[in-house]
């Protein structure tokens, strides 16, 4: 398995992975639009590739104060093999190299399996209310 930064040749495979892993995502999370918007800002999209297939991906962000992980996905056939853990750690290392000292992630409150995964990586539930507004 190779961990690396996204390249334009990955576009179709990454879109397919996200559509597989997040089939019920709302329209504002359209994978093609998300890739374009992210690349307009920076290149913090990380890919785990094996045998010419994208088996995991993670989008990260850093605003100079906090880091964020977005759209972390592992192909269902490759789960429970440590690949998700490796790509999250890789993204966190890349953020740390940019000066980031804290990384945040938001997950759905009813997703206990994913919560346990992030807790195993050192994330803790914080007393926050997450709010958002569409522009």
pLDDT confidence of residue 50: 96
Q: How close are the terminal C-alpha atoms of the chain, in Å?
A: 39
Quick one: how many helices (H) and strands (E) in the chain?
A: 4, 5
Which tens digits make up the pLDDT trace of 26-75? 888 899 999 999 999 999 999 999 999 999 999 999 999 999 999 999 99
Phi and psi torsions of 106, nearest 5°: -115, 135
Q: HSE-up of 93 (CA within 13 Å, CB side)? A: 10
Which tens digits make up the pLDDT trace of 79-116? 999 999 999 999 999 999 999 999 999 988 888 888 89
- Kindly report whether the global pTM for this prediction surpasses the value 0.85: yes
pLDDT confidence of residue 134: 86
Q: What domains appear along the chain, each with residue ranges and CATH number? A: 2-120 (3.40.630.30)
């Amino acid at each position: 398995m190779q961990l690396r930064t996204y390249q334009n040749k990955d576009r179709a495979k990454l879109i397919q992975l996200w559509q597989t892993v997040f089939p019920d995502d709302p329209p504002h999370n359209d994978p093609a639009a998300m890739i374009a918007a992210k690349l307009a800002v920076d290149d913090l999209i990380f890919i785990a590739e094996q045998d010419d297939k994208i088996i995991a991906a993670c989008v990260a962000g850093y605003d100079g104060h906090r880091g964020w992980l977005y759209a972390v996905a592992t192909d269902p056939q490759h789960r429970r093999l440590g690949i998700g853990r490796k790509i999250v750690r890789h993204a966190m290392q890349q953020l740390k190299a940019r000066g980031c000292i804290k990384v945040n992630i938001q997950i759905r409150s009813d997703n206990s399996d994913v919560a346990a995964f992030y807790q195993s990586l050192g994330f803790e539930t914080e007393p926050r209310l997450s709010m958002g507004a569409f522009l």
